[in-house]
Structure 1
Amino acid sequence: MKIKRNRYLNKLISRMNNGLIKVITGIRRSGKSYLLFNLFYDYLINSGVPAENVITIPLDDEDYARYCNPHELYEYIKNKIEDKGGKLYIFIDEAQYAITKEEMKNRDKPIRLYGVLNGLLRKKNIDVYITGSNSKFLSSDILTEFRGRGDEIHILPLSFSEYYPATDKDKYDAWQDYLYYGGLPHILAETNGEMKSTYLSRLHKEIYLKDICERYNLRDEQGMEALMKIVASAVGSLTNAKKISDTFVSNGNNTLSVPTISGYLTYLTESFIVEKAERYDIKGRKYISTPSKYYYTDLGLRNALLNFRQFEETHLMENAIYNELIYRGYNVDVGVVETRENVDNKKIYKQLEVDFVANQGSKRYYIQSAFALPNKEKIEQEQASLVRIPDSFKKIMVVNGNPPVWRNENGITIMGIFEFLLNEGSLEL
């Protein structure tokens, strides 16, 4: 099954031969290798690049384990490119395998892999592409270790617009599956719900949890897993390390301190398992440092972590909207609008929440996830924050289903989730 990932493929094509290291980052099993080794590789071959001029090195393959040593990796590449003419393309998959645990712990010493990559850039006929599953040692180092010569393409699991055409279901059934099992590409190859659930549960235990504990040398695997479950349960809710610590204590577990929990949250975001959305005071035009919201990069992994027992469609739809905005390249915050109301001749200050403030260059959209608007009272409740925003940027409410797009008397656009997800230009309607 060939899944189209044109948004990411076009990003790679537009960056060809730009003199920078193309760094494809994203959660494990999200399709980074498929994008590079299949879709982009096929594009190069169909464009006339000889196959021998594309050198592929999957470092997570046992056959290539020796090249996790940066010196061996450089020698291998040097031998492969020797005496070859024309443009050469180097693909290194899961590059973090060539970064040692010692290098991860001691950042005062240079990471040898980066020296190899910078050395390759000095060769004029080489174009370098790498993938990786950890932001701390790849995307966050692009501007430092690569000295401004890195170019990141961040990839997510399948968006609904990528997922739905690859199924044989109508969009309503496909949407329910997507909310339940998520968008990791291999899910489409599993033939029934039991196999999908087993796959996701195994990934969590054998890949994601194990990866984090090994990468950061964590001894308390149970503590990390318990934290992940709390974050998964709190999707769509404001939280921070202190609130999570209080939850642990209330459950009779006081083994994790607030600083430890804060570090664990950082590890989860660095591994792309969750994304952090900070709060932004819209009227005051400033960020509020805490609490924040955390959204799961893949809904299926979130559900598997909770043994598929917490299927709250309202929160999952909100998470899917957040992921879609990130997929489209927006920077996304949680909005706060402070208001004053007179209650019994007293001024009461209230903070109203805007689910998402999406920014991209000069564009800004305020978006509310409103699962259902059954009556006028619910509409008033959902739009309360939007109507108090003192600027003219577009305001949108996204509801479940597929109702026609309309604009109410307050100038707020109301659209269904399918219009929002499947129409590339939905924010402009």
Structure 2
Amino acid sequence: MLIQRDKYLNDLVSRIGNGMIKVVTGTRRCGKTFLLFDLFADHLRCQGVDDEHIIELALDDELNAQYRDPLKMAEYLRSRITDGRQSDGRQYYILLDEVQYAISRAELKGKEPPRLYGVLNGLLRMRNVDVYVTGSNSKMLSTDVMTEFRGRGDEVRVRPLSFAEFMQAYDGDVQHGWAEYAVFGGMPLVLSMRTDEQKTRYLENLFAETYLKDIVARNGIRRSQELDDLVDVLASCIGALTNPAKIEATFRSKLHSTISVNTITSYIACLEEAFVIDEARRYDVKGRKYIGSPKKYYFEDVGLRNARLGFRQVEQAHIMENIIYNELRMRGYSVDVGVVEHRGSEGGKDVRNNLEVDFVANLGSSRYYIQSALQLSDERKVAQEKASLRGIDDSFAKIVLVRDVVKPTRDEKGILTMSVYDFLLNANSLNV
């Protein structure tokens, strides 16, 4: 079944002819190539663009290895533009896949200026050329779009399938779909596999043989076992506050390792640059400032996270929190972990403690405070989950998401309780 990735396709369509290099980033195998070479190219054809004016080049294909040399790439691309190079010529659309293959390790480390960016910037000077590229490493692409592209790079961030996209192809009801998604996640190829064994082996091999080996090779990591161990530690503590110092203590006490805080920090950065994990910082809601360490780390795909741990730690509460975080990021929100100071009294003494808001989601002038609660089984649990939200005195929406089928309801404080299914399946759910 064809999965329509309308959000990302619309992101690309809205950028056609904007005079910038469209940089499509995201983790390996999340669907960037399908988006660019199938969905977007088909859209162009439906608009009357013929195949001669859609130039596709996949740099991860060994048959195209010669074009990983940026100068040979430029020569080839310009040879395909044959009917004028100025504004009166017909528009050409250049689609380049996995362009990190055209950046050398020396260029990546800053020892040499990347020639690729010069080639792409040169294409922009041809007024009848529109350029789209994909890449799987933010250090090579999204970090550089405003510098190397001199303000002419425009990033479109692609993620694994959202729950709504997954349900397009899932043959079953929403509860069984959730059970499948919470275990095996949203990597597109998983949906084509029929047995749990196939899905398990695919995800395990993808993580070990593609992601980790790619990170090790790209960053010249010599002690790969430490990277493996770090991934396991991070996978075990999604939704929990941590920092490199805490992780170092874990390495020392449980793994008897002498890995340093600096190395841990460096490895975490490598995992983030490869779009394996994402971090959420702590934000003091009342003080309106970031607190700093510790932070929370979430995996780009819960299936990959589960595979890394051999599917032994599929804690529903933490998985649900990770899925909600990914959904908010997919919708374009910046997401922090909220901290709300609460003052009370115990034994006649004033007591201060910090309550946590799972997510503070911001987009432009909009803000939402969101709690992830697997179930609200009784009044005590309701009070516990809503305590931090009730301590916030601004007018932004406050929402509790539960893994039950419930009708959206508001309490006397205006706090909305909603099913996580309604939240995930309706792109406008936060505006209820």
On whether the aligned pair clears a TM of 0.5, the verdict is: yes
SS in 2 for 1:385: helix
* Deviations 1:20-42, CA, capped at 9 Å, x for gaps: 00000000000000000000000
* Deviations 1:371-396, CA, capped at 9 Å, x for gaps: 10010000000111000012110000
Q: What is the deviation of 1:345?
A: 2.3
**Residue in 1 aligned with 2:49?**
49
Q: What is the deviation of 1:110?
A: 1.3
- Runs ≥4 in structure 1, deviation > 6 angstroms? none
**Residue in 2 aligned with 1:150?**
153
**Residue in 2 aligned with 1:58?**
58
Matched, 1:177 2:180: yes
Matched, 1:15 2:10: no
SS in 1 for 2:71: helix
Contact 2:83/2:90 (8 A) holds in 1: no
Matched, 1:166 2:174: no
Q: What is the deviation of 1:108?
A: 5.1
Q: What is the deviation of 1:83?
A: 3.7
1:324 aligned to which of 324, 327, 333:
327
Matched, 1:425 2:423: no
Task: Give the residue type in structure 1 aligned to 2:73.
Answer: L
**Residue in 2 aligned with 1:35?**
35
1:356 aligned to which of 354, 359, 365:
359
SS in 2 for 1:110: coil
SS in 1 for 2:16: coil
Task: Give the residue type in structure 2 aligned to 1:134.
Answer: N
**Residue in 2 aligned with 1:412?**
415
SS in 1 for 2:242: coil
**Residue in 1 aligned with 2:74?**
74
Q: What is the deviation of 1:403?
A: 1.0
Matched, 1:373 2:376: yes
* Deviations 1:255-300, CA, capped at 9 Å, x for gaps: 3100000111111111110110000000000001100000000010
In 2, the alpha carbon distance for the partners of 1:91 and 1:199 equals 28
Task: Give the residue type in structure 1 aligned to 2:93.
Answer: Y
In 1, the alpha carbon distance for the partners of 2:376 and 2:170 equals 29
Task: Give the residue type in structure 2 aligned to 1:292.
Answer: K
In 2, the alpha carbon distance for the partners of 1:389 and 1:329 equals 23
**Residue in 2 aligned with 1:205?**
208
2:107 aligned to which of 103, 106, 111:
103
2:130 aligned to which of 127, 149, 160:
127
Task: Give the residue type in structure 2 aligned to 1:205.
Answer: A
Q: What is the deviation of 1:72?
A: 1.0
In 2, the alpha carbon distance for the partners of 1:258 and 1:339 equals 32
In 2, the alpha carbon distance for the partners of 1:249 and 1:229 equals 15
SS in 2 for 1:91: strand
SS in 2 for 1:276: strand
In 1, the alpha carbon distance for the partners of 2:386 and 2:363 equals 23
SS in 2 for 1:357: strand
2:120 aligned to which of 117, 120, 126:
117
Q: What is the deviation of 1:341?
A: 1.7
**Residue in 2 aligned with 1:393?**
396
Decide which moves more: 137-146 or 337-346.
337-346
In 2, the alpha carbon distance for the partners of 1:401 and 1:213 equals 42
Task: Give the residue type in structure 1 aligned to 2:377.
Answer: P
In 2, the alpha carbon distance for the partners of 1:165 and 1:83 equals 41
Q: What is the deviation of 1:79?
A: 1.1
Task: Give the residue type in structure 2 aligned to 1:236.
Answer: G
Decide which moves more: 140-149 or 345-354.
345-354
Contact 2:233/2:247 (8 A) holds in 1: yes
Matched, 1:190 2:200: no
Matched, 1:4 2:12: no
In 1, the alpha carbon distance for the partners of 2:350 and 2:215 equals 49
**Residue in 2 aligned with 1:87?**
91
In 1, the alpha carbon distance for the partners of 2:146 and 2:256 equals 40
In 2, the alpha carbon distance for the partners of 1:197 and 1:295 equals 20
Matched, 1:278 2:281: yes
Q: How many aligned positions are there? A: 428
Contact 2:422/2:429 (8 A) holds in 1: yes
In 2, the alpha carbon distance for the partners of 1:70 and 1:165 equals 39
Matched, 1:383 2:393: no
Q: What is the deviation of 1:409?
A: 2.0
Task: Give the residue type in structure 2 aligned to 1:301.
Answer: L
**Residue in 1 aligned with 2:347?**
344
SS in 2 for 1:10: helix
* Deviations 1:229-262, CA, capped at 9 Å, x for gaps: 1001000000110011011111132231000001
SS in 1 for 2:264: helix
SS in 2 for 1:384: helix
Equivalent residues in 2 for 1:254-293, closer than 5 Å: 254-293=257-296
* Deviations 1:163-209, CA, capped at 9 Å, x for gaps: 00211111111111101000011011011111000100010111000
SS in 2 for 1:30: coil
Normalised TM-score (structure 2): 0.98
1:221 aligned to which of 210, 215, 224:
224
CA RMSD for the aligned pairs?
A: 0.9
In 1, the alpha carbon distance for the partners of 2:393 and 2:214 equals 46
Q: What is the deviation of 1:82?
A: 3.2
Where does the alignment leave 5 or more consecutive residues of structure 2 unmatched?
A: none
In 1, the alpha carbon distance for the partners of 2:227 and 2:253 equals 17
Normalised TM-score (structure 1): 0.98
**Residue in 2 aligned with 1:139?**
142
Where does the alignment leave 5 or more consecutive residues of structure 1 unmatched?
A: none
Identity %: 52
Q: What is the deviation of 1:343?
A: 1.5
In 1, the alpha carbon distance for the partners of 2:57 and 2:336 equals 37
In 2, the alpha carbon distance for the partners of 1:83 and 1:18 equals 21
